[in-house]
Every structure is written in structure tokens, then in C-alpha cells.
Amino acid sequence: MSIQIRYTNDNSATLYSDIFKECYHSTAGAVTESFHVFIDAGLRALNRKKIKVFEAGFGTGLNAFLSFQEAKKRDLIIDYTAIELYPPEKPILEKLSQTYPFLSDISIFQAMHQTDWNQDTKISESFSLTRILDNLLTASIGEEYDLVYFDAFSPDAQPELWTEEVFKKMFNAMSPGGLLTTYCAKGTVRRNMQKAGFVIERLPGLPPKREMLRAGR
């Protein structure tokens, strides 16, 4: 899989996939988007100190890294599980980490990518990480997740991951009162979430996107 580093409008870097013809994050700002969609609208919206997170699309690991920093800041305990079918190679991730000198704990970002696949690893006393190397469509995933970061490539690039069946799988894996957040607000995606049982909120998106979605179980 051919991957390139590209800089975004907030001067943070992301990766571009030649297979999916998309960047891993918004070109409006990689770090800004992750904060807006997953930290602000997700992690900070849950009034819980112990949180089980499931991420659909580990990608660069940026969402996990920012969640670690949020846990450290707010004294949270996070059990983080992420699934990824097309992991970037270590050399490109090492180069990517060198573009994040403005973020503290960058050694943690690097350590996350050194964990063994399919094994629970303690990153710190308050943050554990399990990276699953598998296909979301066929993988068996745990239950009782409090928060789902749905961060797959867009419905145009990976339509098979934005279906009612996949969202039903997410719904069944979540705890009562849990939240799912995603950058995508496409009408078909919203309707598929509703068919799966979610209650949908439309929230302001990261410009130029007008909206994003937060789904409650």
C-alpha cells in the first residue's frame, strides 16, 4: 500500500492512501479534526471516569494518542481498542511522529505503534491499548464499549463500512448511554445509523464540513 505524508491547514501532518485516494484526516487540519470530532464531541461528552473506547480505523494512531493525553489531563481510565486492516508501515509512521514536535508525550505515540497486534498492552497506569489486525466486517468484537470513534475512510472510498449492518454491529457492542461519533454526516449514513437503533444528533462539523454526527445508544 503506497502512503505519503501530507501537511494539513493547521500545520499538522496526515497520511494519504493511494489505494483509497483519500487522506486519513481532514486537510483542514488533522489534529484539529481529531479534537473536534472525537475528543470534544465524544470523550468530553461522556460523564464517566472509566471509559471503554472502540475505534473503527486505527490509522495513524492520532485519535488514540489524543485520547491518552485527555485521560492524563482529566484523570480518566481508558481501555482503548482499535481495529485496522491496512496498517501503515513503521518507517512512514516514524516519519509522521517526527512532524508532531508540538505535542507532548510523543514517545507515547511511538510506543502505541510498537505494541503487538491483538494483545492488550498497558501504555500507562490509566491507559491500555489493544490493536486488532482484522476486517471490521468479519471480526468478532467485544461488548459494552462506552464510546465508538467511527473513523473509516469515507463512504465513497469504503461504502461497505457505512451500512446498517455495520452500525448494528456497533450498536450491539456498546453500553447503554454510549456514544458513537464520526466526521461524516451523509444522509444515507445517518439513515443507516437510525435503522440500526441509534438516536442521532447533528453537530457543527469542522469547516468546510457543515455537520458531523453523534449517535447515542
pLDDT tens, 6-47? 999 999 999 999 999 999 999 999 999 999 999 999 999 999
Give the whole-number percent of the chain exceeding pLDDT 90.
92
Q: Is residue 147 part of a domain?
A: yes
Decide if pLDDT at 123 tops 90. yes
pLDDT of residue 106: 86
Is the residue at 58 inside a domain?
yes
Query: Residue 116's domain is classified under what CATH number?
Result: 3.40.50.150
Domain that holds residue 38: 29-216
- Residue 212 maps to a domain: yes
Residue 158 belongs to a domain: yes
Q: For all residues of the chain together, what is the average pLDDT?
A: 95
**Amino acid type, 77:** I
Q: What is the pTM of this model?
A: 0.96
Assigned domain for 200 exists: yes
20: nearest Cα among 132, 161, 148: 161
Residue 188's pLDDT is 98
Q: Is residue 131 part of a domain?
A: yes
C-alpha cell at 9: 491547514
Assigned domain for 18 exists: no
pLDDT of 1 strictly over 80: no
Q: Give the per-residue pLDDT at 59.
A: 96
Asked if the model's pLDDT at residue 129 lies above 90, the reply is yes
Whether 11 is in a domain gets the answer: no
In total, how many domains does the chain have?
1
CA distances from 12 to 55, 70, 100, 205, 209 (A): 21, 18, 7, 18, 18
